[in-house]
């Protein structure tokens, strides 16, 4: 059985390589175990994917339920697990610190803190307050008995505030506050991502871009590539297509493309 410290060290080492690694985002124990079986080196949770799996919208699952969820994912495999911890489940700095402490106790070796409350432009925290929140999360991470990897996220582009200069400024301040990894999801272009990589000296996590391969992202200087809720949405897309076929045509051809019962059973 791999210890939490061993997982944490392995996770840190992945960020120190000279190429990017893909960290896929399972939304439940089954998807986590399948991804581990396929040979991925680490996993990251997805708040959206989990919320959808329990019939809720993203950012509506409370901290208690989310901690239970990430604990299940962390225990599901021997892989390092980093978690999408939203905005720390509270506006104040202490909420961020407490969430990091709770996540570490649940088995995580990493986690991210966002600088937004609900994804709207006006929900982006004032810069100084956002920095204080990252600093508190970093202090909690450093107090762990293993090297917890803290990712600081700037939500500008996801929130519709497409201000690259402000995004870079925020990530630089989060770096100064001690964040181990920096992340600005929602970037629209390769050039914006490259500008961010050049502007900081911490590993940068990139949200996948459909038109760019992992190799191309790696060449930009990205060190980690996540997919957010995309795998969960892909799974739901397949289910919805199958359900609509049954409802609208009364046919069941979707089963022809489904993984076999035997193959899936063997993977588990």
Strands 21-23 and 149-153: unpaired
CATH superfamily, with its number, for domain 4-228: Phosphoenolpyruvate-binding domains (3.20.20.60)
Give start and end residues of each alpha helix (H) in the chain: 4-15, 29-37, 47-53, 63-76, 93-105, 127-142, 164-176, 190-199, 214-220, 230-249, 261-267
Question: Which residue in the block uniquely carries the two structure tokens 């991804």?
Answer: 35
Residue range 211-240: average pLDDT?
98
Strands 81-84 and 110-114: parallel
Does the pLDDT of residue 161 top 80, yes or no?
A: yes
Separation between Cα atoms, residue 208 and residue 226, nearest integer Å: 6
Query: What b/e readout covers 226-235, taking b as 16+ CB neighbours within 10 angstroms?
Result: bbbbbbbbeb
What pLDDT score does 90 carry?
Answer: 96
Domain ranges in the chain with CATH number 3.20.20.60: 4-228
CB 208 within 8 A of CB 180: no
Residue range 237-244: average pLDDT?
98
pLDDT tens-digit map of 78-88: 999 999 999 99
CB 80 within 8 A of CB 110: yes
Report DSSP letters for 68-102, one per residue: HHHHHHHHHSSS-EEEE-TT-SSSSHHHHHHHHHH
Question: Which residue in the block uniquely carries the two structure tokens 């329990």?
Answer: 54
CB 100 within 8 A of CB 111: yes
Does the pLDDT of residue 181 top 70, yes or no?
A: yes
Tell me how far CA of residue 227 lies from CA of 159, 210, 261, 262, in angstroms.
18, 10, 27, 28
Torsion of CA 130, 67, 151, 144, to 10 degrees: 100
pLDDT tens-digit map of 185-206: 999 899 999 999 999 999 999 9
What pLDDT score does 9 carry?
Answer: 98
Separation between Cα atoms, residue 85 and residue 65, nearest integer Å: 12
Stated pTM of the model: 0.96
Does the pLDDT of residue 158 top 90, yes or no?
A: yes
Q: Residue 120's pLDDT band (boundaries 50, 70, 90)?
A: low
């Amino acid at each position: 059985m791999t210890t939490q410290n061993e997982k944490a060290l392995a996770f840190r080492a992945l960020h120190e390589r000279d190429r990017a690694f893909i960290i896929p985002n399972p939304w439940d124990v089954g998807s986590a175990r399948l991804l581990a079986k396929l040979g991925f080196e680490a996993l990251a949770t997805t708040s959206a994917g989990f919320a959808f799996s329990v019939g809720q919208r993203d950012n509506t699952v409370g901290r208690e339920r989310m901690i239970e969820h990430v604990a299940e994912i962390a225990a599901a495999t021997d892989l390092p697990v980093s978690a999408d911890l939203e905005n720390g489940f509270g506006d104040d700095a202490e909420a961020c610190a407490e969430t990091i402490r709770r996540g570490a106790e649940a088995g995580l070796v990493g986690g991210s803190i966002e600088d937004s409350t609900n994804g709207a432009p006006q929900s982006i925290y004032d810069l100084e307050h956002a920095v204080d929140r990252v600093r508190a999360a970093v202090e909690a991470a450093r107090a762990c008995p293993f090297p917890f990897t803290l990712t600081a996220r700037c939500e500008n582009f996801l929130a519709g505030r497409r201000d690259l200069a402000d995004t870079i400024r925020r990530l630089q301040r989060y770096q100064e506050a001690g964040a181990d990894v920096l992340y600005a999801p929602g970037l629209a272009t390769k050039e914006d991502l490259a500008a961010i990589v050049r502007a900081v000296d911490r590993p940068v996590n990139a949200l996948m871009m459909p038109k760019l391969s992992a190799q191309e992202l790696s060449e930009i200087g990205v060190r980690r590539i996540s997919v957010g809720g995309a795998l969960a949405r892909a799974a739901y897309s397949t289910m919805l297509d199958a359900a609509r076929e049954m409802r609208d045509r009364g046919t069941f051809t979707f089963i022809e493309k489904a993984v076999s019962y035997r193959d899936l059973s063997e993977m588990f």
